[in-house]
Structure 1
Amino acid sequence: MSNQLVRDLEHLAGQTASKEGYQIVGLHVLANTNPMTIQVQIRQKDGTDVSLDDCSGFSFPMETAIENSNLFKASYILEISSPGLSDILKTDKEFETFKGFPIEVSTKNKENIEVIQSGLLHTRSKDHLLINNKGKVSKIPRENVIQVRLASPTG
């Protein structure tokens, strides 16, 4: 499968998604399967969650666009999905949902050096992130937080 064909498909998928109110997060062509599989991951333009109905609803316009483009002569399977959850927490909703989960927090110290702290997510306020590390709650100023990532329970 040529790189140009994949780029053309990415462009086509981007245009189709935009018309339907989505954006493309990922596109993979599995040419080694029979029939070939085209996997497209979508996200809502406004950032809201993608439902099963969204994936199902986008399938027909995407399939129609592929068929009308004549990019592929061979048969294929089209799979539409959401990208799933990221392991990096960003929104208030994510911080509320994962309260009590193990996390790794990248922070910058007074010397502006990155430091990683581990613990359980306690809460996030407008000014601070609180994590529980073996029963001791640490209060980290939000301006010092670089990134908060979900961690495995075993580290």
Structure 2
Amino acid sequence: MAKKRTVDIVEAFALPIVEENGVELVDVEYIKEGQDWFLRVYIDKENGITLDDCQAVSEALSKKLDETDPIEESYYLEVSSPGLDRELKKDKDYEKFKGRMIQISLYEPLDGKKMIEGELLGLEGNAVVIKVDERHNLEIPREKIGKVKLAVIIE
């Protein structure tokens, strides 16, 4: 089964389960690492998730996946938080995290840099807009971006 189709099926199964448990479905990944396949489901909620949240979603989702058996190969199911440095993938992520510091990894250097950090101002059309300093905003087309994640600020 194609990776994209697997992710779509798992998202459809996971959505009602996460809603029942009062958490948000952030992302689903189905990736091969070495010889093993991993189905990773990332969940979150306003004040952060607990191990109990992860366990409840994991048990319910595992039961649903066992009943329907949509994935041919064997895999490991992992349910966890997206972490402090979570990746921004969906348009709603850019809205939710406006005003936060982000790190952008580029496919090719821009002004000699492949990594740019700044305050997220949002999306404009197909570009991520950040404030790099008090006088300069930068619009970076999404097709030039490899990854966008929240910056972890240690004070």
SS of residue in 2 equivalent to 1:30: strand
Q: Counterparts in 2 of 1:70-149, with a 5 A limit?
A: 70-86=69-85, 116-117=133-134
Which residue number corresponds to residue 58 of structure 2? 59
* Cα root mean square deviation, aligned: 3.4
Tell me the CA shift for residue 34 of structure 1. Answer: 3.4
- Aligned-partner Cα distance in 1 for 2:20–2:55: 16
Q: Which runs of 5+ in 2 are unaligned?
A: 87-96, 101-116, 122-130, 135-150
In structure 2, what is the Cα distance between the partners aligned to 1:106 and 1:14?
28
Change (3 A) 1:71 1:116: same
Corresponding residue pairs, total: 104
CA distance in 2, matches of 1:20, 1:104: 34
TM-score (norm 1): 0.53
Partner of 1:31: 32
Q: Tell me the distance in 1 between the aligned counterparts of 2:31 and 2:81.
A: 18
CA deviation map 1:82-105 (0-9, x unaligned): 0112586869xxxxxxxxxxx955
Instruction: Give distance in 1, aligned partners of 2:119 and 2:7.
Output: 37
Larger radius of gyration, structure 1 or 2?
Answer: 1
Tell whether the 8 Å contact from 2:37 to 2:74 is kept in structure 1 after alignment.
yes
Amino acid at match of 1:52: L
Give, in angstroms, the shift of residue 28 of structure 1.
0.6
In 1, Cα distance between the equivalents of 2:48 and 2:19?
Answer: 16
Q: Which runs of 5+ in 1 are unaligned?
A: 92-102, 108-113, 118-148
State how far apart, in whole Å, the 2-side matches of 1:83 and 1:19 are. 19
TM-aligned CA distance change 1:89 to 1:7, over 3 Å: closer
CA distance in 2, matches of 1:39, 1:9: 10
- Preserved contact between residue 40 and residue 79 of structure 2 (Cα < 8 Å): yes
Measure the CA separation in 2 of the matches of 1:6 and 1:81: 16
Q: Distance in 1 between matches of 2:120 and 2:24?
A: 29
Deviation at 1:10, TM superposition (A): 1.5
2:84 touches 2:152 (CA, 8 Å); kept in 1?
no
| Percentage identity across paired residues of the two chains | 22
1:49 aligned partner? 48
